[in-house]
């Protein structure tokens, strides 16, 4: 039986859509904040988004706090990558999925944007695409579970504000193997009710979840 991985707390609170987009390795997840009432990603409509009229400030996840999912030591704390403030999907999609990976090959910050890597008992936790000038820790700093690390942004290879999360065997996201992990507690929306999950892996398909405050 394959090891389900060590247990960590969620790095965010509230309601999110868990995604595993094409090109992501198994065990790597994108967390996209949604409105608790409507379940929508942004305050503007789909057609406005497709027309490029949505800015990051219209997105529910923008600037949401990100915390350490476990106690540990910060090994990487990169800041300074700019956020793209206007969402233009017809440009962002080919750029983010094809052009940027080719241009930024070998440069972690070009893909992960502003990011933090924390060495924990579960492994090396990568939290990526943070907001520029929001990273609140430094390499070598000891952090406790729940300590503020930064805010969700739209830096690096990102199609919109979200948090990329993965746990690795080593500190280098470009080389380390991704390992499974479990989340201490969260709820899954079935379409009719919330169902609790305890010490469970995140869903592998697009699923709306709720992390405790």
- 141-167: burial string, b at 16+ Cβ within 10 Å, e else: eebeeebebbbbbbbbbbbbbbbbbbb
pTM score, two decimals? 0.91
Q: How far apart, in whole angstroms, are the C-alpha atoms of residue 88 and residue 193? A: 34
For residue 3, what pLDDT is reported?
A: 56
Residue with tokens 């070998």: 106
Average pLDDT, the chain: 90
On whether the 6-211 domain is CATH 2.70.70.10, my answer is yes
Q: How far apart are CA 68 and CA 149, in angstroms?
A: 6
Whole-number pLDDT of residue 99: 47
| Average of per-residue pLDDT across 114-142 | 98
Question: For 88-114, how does the pLDDT look when each residue is reduced to its tens digit (9 = 90+)?
Answer: 776 665 555 554 555 456 667 878 999
% pLDDT > 90, the chain: 73
pLDDT number for residue 1: 32
For residue 77, the cross-strand partners are 116
Q: Are 66 and 11 in contact (CB under 8 A)?
A: yes
**C-alpha closest to that of 204 among 29, 6, 8:** 29
What confidence tens digit (pLDDT) does each residue in 128-139 have?
999 999 999 999
pLDDT category of residue 23 using cuts at 50, 70 and 90: confident
Rg (CA), the chain: 16
Q: Token digits for 189? A: 């929306």
Does position 54 have pLDDT exceeding 80, yes or no? yes
Identify which has the larger pLDDT, 73 or 107: 73
Sequence ranges of the domains in the chain: 6-211
């Amino acid at each position: 039986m394959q090891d389900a991985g060590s247990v960590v707390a969620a790095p965010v609170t509230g309601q999110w859509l868990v995604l595993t987009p094409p090109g992501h390795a198994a065990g790597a997840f994108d967390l996209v904040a949604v409105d608790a009432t409507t379940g929508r990603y942004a305050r503007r409509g789909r057609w406005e988004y497709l027309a490029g009229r949505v800015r990051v400030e219209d997105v529910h996840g923008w600037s949401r706090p990100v915390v350490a999912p476990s106690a540990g030591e910060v090994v990487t704390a990169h800041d300074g990558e700019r956020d793209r403030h206007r969402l233009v999907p017809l440009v962002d999609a080919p750029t983010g999925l094809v052009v940027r990976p080719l241009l930024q090959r070998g440069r972690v910050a070009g893909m992960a944007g502003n990011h933090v890597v924390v060495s924990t008992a579960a492994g090396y936790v990568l939290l990526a695409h943070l907001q520029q000038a929001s990273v609140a820790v430094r390499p070598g700093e000891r952090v406790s579970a729940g300590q503020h690390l930064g805010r969700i942004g739209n830096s690096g290879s990102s199609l919109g504000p979200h948090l990329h999360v993965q746990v690795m065997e080593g500190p280098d996201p470009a080389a380390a193997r991704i390992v499974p992990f479990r989340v201490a507690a969260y709820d899954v929306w079935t379409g009719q009710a919330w169902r609790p999950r305890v010490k469970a892996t995140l869903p592998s398909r697009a699923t709306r979840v709720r992390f405790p405050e």
